[in-house]
Amino acid sequence: MRRGGLPGMALLFLVGMLISGVAALPLSLVLWAAGAPIEAERIRGTIWNGHIENAWIAGYPAGTIGVSGDLMTLLKGQVAADLSVRGSIANGRASVALGVNEINFRSADLAVELSPLELRDAFGAPMEGLVRLKTDGLTLTREQCAEGRLEFSTDTLQRTARRYGGEGFALLGTGRCEEGAFVLPLRGEGSEGSADAMIRVSLQGYTTELTVVPRDEDLANALDLYGFQQRGNAFTLVQRGTLF
């Protein structure tokens, strides 16, 4: 008679029970234990299949977030999940892992609407437009941008130009982690001119430098009026501030 199958079967049974128990954990408990900066009207379901309704992340409305947990990563001590986001600010999908003092965007494809964020453009007007964000890996800690890259595109200059009767153009670029900061160079060009932007964000604050080379005299006059510094054919505006 073979003896040795029982311990193996018992081990498989215990592993199955453990996985079942983890899968049954309420999503609200997992988010609390992970210290996730999320407030919501209602959190229902489990980490395996849950929904966060009327969510707020870092003070901004995020709409409804669907959560599908990664059990194997959870068993290793990390909270990881595939997210679907549907709201007034962001729409799309992301795969996220929360570790001790860090968040890892394993992948993301999100469209973010700027107008609800109440930001101001270089001309002091409410910023409008859509931002498209894509990444195949970006890790942020509480202290710094650790590693990874983020593809970025926006039509905000087109929205601004239309407000003044122009056409504008899209801005495109890929941001990276450099010396603990997130650095994003952007470039765009159209019939009215070209623009280059450099955005640097860290815990100490942010710096944005926007340089426009206009082909239209009216645009050049507007840039001068709103505080852009002229050097040759280029007009540059540098802005700095704090995040918190």
Q: In degrees, to the nearest 5, what angle opens at C-alpha 144 toward C-alphas 138 and 149?
A: 25
Instruction: Give the global pTM.
Output: 0.78
Tokens, residue 215: 């082909």
Residue-wise pLDDT for 147-156, tens only, equals: 999 999 999 9
Tell me the per-residue pLDDT of 216-232, one tens digit each, with 9 for 90 and over.
Answer: 888 888 889 889 999 99
Return the top range by mean pLDDT from 44-58, 92-106, 229-243.
229-243
Which two structure tokens, joined as six digits, stand for 33? 């234990």
pLDDT digits (tens, 9 = 90+) for 113-152: 988 888 887 777 888 899 999 999 999 988 899 999 999 9
Query: Which position has the higher pLDDT, 107 or 226?
Result: 107
Stretch 91-109: mean pLDDT, rounded? 88
Confidence check: pLDDT of 11 > 60: no
Q: Which residue has the higher pLDDT, 209 or 51?
A: 209
pLDDT averaged over every residue in the chain: 82
Q: What is the pLDDT of residue 179?
A: 92
Distance CA 55, CA 38 (A): 7
